[in-house]
Amino acid sequence: MTKLITVFSEYEIKNSAIKINNGTETGFKKVGCVGKIEETLDCITVTKKCEGVVKKTVTRGAGTGESKITLHMNYNLYIQIFGMDDENLLDGVYGYGTNSRHKEFTYVGEVMDEDGNIKYKAYPKCAVKTGPSNTIENGGEEVQEIEVTFSLYPDDYGYCEYEAPAIELDDTTKGKWMTEFTPELLRKTTSQSPSQSQGTV
């Protein structure tokens, strides 16, 4: 029987990785050193009125959201997610402008509590919603981190975010989360098809 965790206070995030969703990328690449992550998931509230009086409200997830990450990013990933890798430029030259198209990607990470317990997180479908923003300071005593804001979109099953305490996962799922993550990895074999699992208002 799965052992349930009763308390988990998110304290730090480790081992973040990204896979570009272009149909050719097969593996996840380490993001770099993450300093902070902020997450906001959207919801929709539907109201039912009778003769002008609210009789019922139903709130459900919208399947979208936003995540803001402060980090030192792997340069090759930085180039890819901002669409700076133009094949018409010389090798080793990258540019950001009207030809840059932000890439869609999957993000996975390990969150730990103050006792070192692990919770896995994943954003199955996301893209950077802002342009590159960097700070360069001569004589600075600390190497500046960059801030990247992701827009989160629903996958084929309507989810924009997944999370799972490691203690509640089987060994196969834990072993594949950071290296072979797909939404299908998390589905029961008897689960509905994507079209059947979409929620209704």
Kindly state whether residue 29 falls inside one of the protein's structural domains. yes
Mean pLDDT of 86-109: 95
Kindly state whether residue 164 falls inside one of the protein's structural domains. yes
pLDDT of residue 197: 53
Kindly state whether residue 153 falls inside one of the protein's structural domains. yes
- The domain tally of the chain equals 1
Confidence band (pLDDT; 50, 70, 90) for 10? Answer: confident
Kindly state whether residue 138 falls inside one of the protein's structural domains. yes
- What's the domain range around 104? 12-170
Transcribe the chain into DSSP letters.
-PPPPS-----EEEEEEEEE-SSS--S-EE-EEEEEEEEEEEEEEEEEEETTEEEEEEEEEEEEEEEEEEEEE-HHHHHHHTT---TTSPTT----STT--PPPEEEEEEEE-TT--EEEEEEEEEEE-S-------TT-SSPPPEEEEEEE---TTS-S-EEEEGGGS-HHHHHHHHHH--GGGGS-TTPPPHHHH----
Kindly state whether residue 19 falls inside one of the protein's structural domains. yes
Pairing between strand 118-128 and 105-112? antiparallel
- Residue 190: pLDDT above 70? no
Q: pTM of the predicted model, to two decimals?
A: 0.85
What digits encode the pLDDT tens for the residues 127-167?
Answer: 999 999 888 888 888 888 889 999 999 999 999 999 999 99
Kindly state whether residue 3 falls inside one of the protein's structural domains. no
The tokens describing 169, both together, are: 């996962």
Separation between Cα atoms, residue 156 and residue 186, nearest integer Å = 13
Kindly state whether residue 142 falls inside one of the protein's structural domains. yes
Kindly state whether residue 184 falls inside one of the protein's structural domains. no
pLDDT of residue 136: 83
Q: What is the mean pLDDT of the chain?
A: 89
